[in-house]
Amino acid sequence: MTEDAISPDQDPEADPPRQQPTVCLRCGTPGPVSEDGFCAKCEQALEQACL
């Protein structure tokens, strides 16, 4: 017998990530930034610039 016991998953915020409003220090684009405060795009640019 199959048991179609669908448990009511009512967890809209089961795991709320800490989303702080962050903007890139270089280009000012709001979004996920690294610990340095730069977005991935600028990080690559900085890496190349630092070479």
Binding residues for Zn ion, rule: CB under 5 A, are: 24, 26-27, 39, 42
Indicate the residue among 27 and 32 with the shorter CB distance to Zn ion. Answer: 27
CA distances from 3 to 6, 9, 27, 51 (A): 9, 17, 54, 61
Nearest-approach distance from CB 43 to Zn ion, in angstroms: 8
Q: Which residue, 6 or 27, is less far from Zn ion as judged by CB? A: 27
> Using the 8-state DSSP alphabet, how is residue 30 labeled?
B
Of 2 and 22, CB closest to Zn ion: 22
| Distance separating alpha carbons of residues 24 and 7, to the nearest angstrom | 42
